[in-house]
Amino acid sequence: MTASTSSLTAIIGAGVMGETLLSGLLRAGRPADQLLVGEKRPERGEELRARYGVEVLDNVEAARRATTVALVVKPQDMAAVLEQVSPVLRPGQLVVSLAAGITTAYVEARVPQGVAVVRVMPNTPALVDEGMAAISGGRHASEEQLAEVEGLLRATGKVLRVPEAQQDAVTAISGSGPAYLFYVVESMIEAGVHLGLPRTTATDLVVQTVVGSATMLRETGTHPTVLREQVTSPAGTTAAALRELEIHKVRAAFLAAMEAARNRSAELGS
């Protein structure tokens, strides 16, 4: 490796989100020799070396060599990974946690004093560079380090800073949000089949409708209520459909679902 230690970022955890971050950074122009991957499975390590040209190490060595350490692991695995890498971490290093529910205080209690911690809630549309990530800094995270994390995550989409007290709600909205939308899409496709459309036709209709509607929201800046009303003619087909959604309390169900996700995020952190 020719890169200096000061420029190295280690991604520990090479699952879907870890690989998403890795590939996004490379697409955004980050040289492969400025990235390390911590991966315990030899076959997975060889796959990543061949695909991206990055150096793959064990977790401890990756954490030892890097200045920024991104922990992209499941919440239930965080304690074990921190116990593994904490002995080689040092003051001034930056640890970025991408695990749902894990607080900066939780990480800070398990790493040496003076290690900066930033908490991140990403989501899976980062796979296509349309992710939404929310970040919160811990006690020792500087403005420069927060900006560094923003730079890392902009490689795969949009980034917002939020108070850490809002992170469980963020997890419920954008972290888990893609699954809700996929659930709605799945339901609409099944409805199309039920109404007599071929599945491929129903899929094309629904997917493009979702893409177009999301683009309208983003590019026009118009409130969703206004956009909904523009589609809803008095006593028309859309009004009839929306009446059924209200009868079945879909709006209330979404609220209850997101409250459940928020509460589960808080449980994971405890």
Residue located via tokens 């420069």: 144
Residues 146 and 187 in one domain: no
Kindly report the CATH number assigned to the domain that includes residue 31. Answer: 3.40.50.720
Average pLDDT over every residue of 59-69: 96
Residues 156 and 181 in one domain: no
Average pLDDT over every residue of 73-92: 94
For the chain, the domain total comes to 2
Given 128, 162, 196, the domain boundary residue is: 162
pLDDT of 22 over the 80 cut: yes
Residue 171 lies in a domain: no
Residues 154 and 74 in one domain: yes
Say if CB 145 and CB 116 are below 8 A apart: yes
Given 100, 135, 162, the domain boundary residue is: 162
Average pLDDT over every residue of 16-38: 93
Residue 254 lies in a domain: yes
pLDDT of 40 over the 70 cut: yes
Residues 193 and 101 in one domain: no
pLDDT of 57 over the 50 cut: yes
Nearest-10 crossing angle of helices 224-231, 199-220: 130
Residues 69 and 186 in one domain: no
The whole-angstrom separation of Cα 3 and Cα 32 is: 9
User: Which tens digit of pLDDT belongs to each residue from 198-208?
Assistant: 999 999 999 99
Residues spanned by the domain of 61: 5-162
Determine what percent of the chain is predicted with pLDDT higher than 90. 91
User: Which tens digit of pLDDT belongs to each residue from 147-185?
Assistant: 999 999 999 999 999 999 999 999 999 999 999 999 999
DSSP one-letter string for 96-121: EE--TT--HHHHHTTS-TT-EEEEEE
Residue 169 lies in a domain: no
Give, for 12, the enclosing helix (H) or strand (E).
strand 9-12
- The mean pLDDT value of the chain amounts to 94
Kindly report the CATH number assigned to the domain that includes residue 265. Answer: 1.10.3730.10
pLDDT of 215 over the 60 cut: yes
Residues 15 and 65 in one domain: yes
Residues 107 and 183 in one domain: no
Q: What is the pLDDT of residue 5?
A: 43
User: Which tens digit of pLDDT belongs to each residue from 94-147?
Assistant: 999 999 999 999 999 999 999 999 999 999 999 999 999 999 999 999 999 999
Residues 10 and 93 in one domain: yes
The whole-angstrom separation of Cα 4 and Cα 184 is: 47
Six token digits for residue 13: 């955890």
Given 99, 131, 162, the domain boundary residue is: 162
